[in-house]
Structure 1
Amino acid sequence: MLQNPVRVVVDADACPVKPEIAACVRAAGTRALLVSSHAHVLHAEEGVDVVTVDASDQAADLYIANALKASDILVTGDYGLAALGLARGAAVLTPRGKTIDEENIDELLAQRHFSAKQRRGGMRTRGPKPFTDEDRDRFQQKLTKLLRRLQENSFA
């Protein structure tokens, strides 16, 4: 048994790669925790635990921020939650397979702030590009490599 088991914690409300996460954790012999609001019905399965929080604003983010450990991998597209995950020592990956770390979080947060400011001022901003099969594949490859690396480090 691992000293610090690696767990994948997922901001699951809008996460398009839940099946890939389940497959990756089963293959790696670890677990995932999907956190969502009551508005999204998720079901536990082999290797995957589900926590449902109330529908209040930020309830899932607060639950995740309090549950994260340094040995966890956080999957989220929310840069604010990603910053909290990094502060807790977690590795952070977006559903498109982008690694968020101390090197890029400040720029990502600044971009988010700038876009929100433009929207409040009445400007229209571009939404995200459509999610593709290439995004899905990239995510699964990155998560598999990250799980392997963190599991190897947990033996040390």
Structure 2
Amino acid sequence: MSQPITIFIDADACPVKNETYRVAERYGLHVYVVANSILNVPREPWIERVIVSDGFDAADDWIAERAGPTSIVITADVPLASRCVKAGASALSPTGKAFTESSVGMALATRNLMQELREAGAITGGPPPFSAKDRSAFLGALDRAVVRLRRAGA
């Protein structure tokens, strides 16, 4: 018997939790909402809130230890996405960008470069504001990821 598809949300700053719930409900998937603090989540049997310690990377570690080939991980955290992709999971950013084995290395390098530039004071702004276009791209990417896993037998 195949493993069920599960979704893990790196939830502390995730702007697409409600969109994820809608897609998960449509396909009958279990969602783990992982955070260091208590977050409100819908009271549904298929949504599970997981509160981890406030230790450095505790939520990332919890997700990475459980992610596998039938998992979809929602995160903006590039190092977490890298760990999950290496474990065979699908990883999506809240803007709908899929992290793959071929793209995650470049994403890590870009992240590290941007962090160095920020620390040096060369860059003072953050990412652009989250938009309706980002939300729409995410919904499409999540739907495609679920369909791909279902076709693969998950």
TM range (shorter): over 0.9
Give the structure 2 partner of residue 30 of structure 1.
Answer: 29
User: Structure 1 CA distance, aligned partners of 2:123 and 2:138?
Assistant: 29
Contact in 2 for aligned 1:7/1:32 (Cα 8 Å): yes
- Tell me whether 1:42 sits opposite 2:45 in the alignment: no
Give the structure 2 partner of residue 66 of structure 1.
Answer: 65
Structure 2 unmatched ranges of 5 or more: none
Contact in 2 for aligned 1:44/1:50 (Cα 8 Å): no
2:10 corresponds to which letter in structure 1? Answer: D
Q: Tell me how far 1:120 sits from its aligned partner.
A: 2.5
**TM norm structure 2:** 0.92
Contact in 2 for aligned 1:28/1:148 (Cα 8 Å): no
Structure 1 unmatched ranges of 5 or more: none
User: Structure 2 CA distance, aligned partners of 1:70 and 1:141?
Assistant: 20
Q: Number of aligned pairs?
A: 153
Structure 1 stretches of 4+ moved >2 Å: 42-47, 119-126
The Cα offsets for residues 34-87 of structure 1, whole Å up to 9 and x where unpaired, read as 10012x423353221110111222111111111212210111011000000011
User: Structure 1 CA distance, aligned partners of 2:121 and 2:127?
Assistant: 18
1:78 corresponds to which letter in structure 2? Answer: D
User: Structure 1 CA distance, aligned partners of 2:76 and 2:40?
Assistant: 19
User: Structure 1 CA distance, aligned partners of 2:2 and 2:47?
Assistant: 20
Q: Aligned pair in 2 of structure 1 residues 154, 64: CA closer, same or farther (>3 Å)? A: same
Contact in 2 for aligned 1:5/1:154 (Cα 8 Å): no
Q: Tell me how far 1:19 sits from its aligned partner.
A: 0.5
Aligned pairs for 1:1-156 within 5 A:
3-38=2-37, 40-46=38-44, 47-154=46-153
Contact in 2 for aligned 1:5/1:151 (Cα 8 Å): no
2:43 corresponds to which letter in structure 1? Answer: E
2:74 corresponds to which letter in structure 1? Answer: V
What is the percent sequence identity of the aligned residues? 31
User: Structure 2 CA distance, aligned partners of 1:103 and 1:16?
Assistant: 25
The Cα offsets for residues 75-133 of structure 1, whole Å up to 9 and x where unpaired, read as 10110000000111001111010111011111111111111112222333431111011
